[in-house]
Amino acid sequence: MSLRRRRLAATALVATAPFVLSACGTSFNAQTNQQYQPGIGANVRDLDAPVQVYNGLFVDNGDGTATFSGALLARGEDERIVESVEVTPEEGQSVEAVLPGTLRLPAEVLVPVGEAGEIFVESPAVRAGYYVSMTLTLASGDQVSLRVPVEPREEMYASVAQTPSTPEAPGDDTGETGVEVDPDFGVEGESTLDTER
Q: What is the pLDDT of residues 29-58, one digit of tens each?
A: 666 666 665 778 999 999 899 999 999 999
- Which has the minimum average pLDDT: 7-11, 34-38, 190-194? 190-194
pTM: 0.69
For 144-175, b/e burial (b = at least 16 CB within 10 A) is bebebebbebeeebeebbbebbeeeeebbbeb
pLDDT at 193 > cutoff 50: no
CA distance 94 to 90: 9
Domain boundaries, the chain: 42-180
CA distance 47 to 189: 13
* Per-residue pLDDT band at 185 (split at 50, 70, 90): very low
Q: Which residue has the higher pLDDT, 144 or 9?
A: 144
Task: Dump pLDDT digits (tens) for 105-140.
Answer: 999 999 999 999 999 999 999 999 999 999 999 999
Contact 131, 90 (CB under 8 A): yes
Averaged pLDDT score across all residues of the chain: 82
pLDDT at 15 > cutoff 90: no
Three-state secondary structure of the chain: CCHHHHHHHHHHHHHHHHHHHHHHCCCCCCCCCCCCCCCCCEEECCCCCCEEEEEEEEEECCCCEEEEEEEEEECCCCCEEEEEEEEEECCCCCEECECCCCEEECECEEEEECCCCCCEEECCCCCCCCEEEEEEEECCCCEEEEEEEEEECCHHHCCCCCCCCCCCCCCCCCCCCCEECCCCCCCCCCCCCCCCC
Torsion, Cα of 128, 131, 132, 137 (10° steps): 110
Q: Has domain 42-180 been given CATH number 3.40.50.2020?
A: no
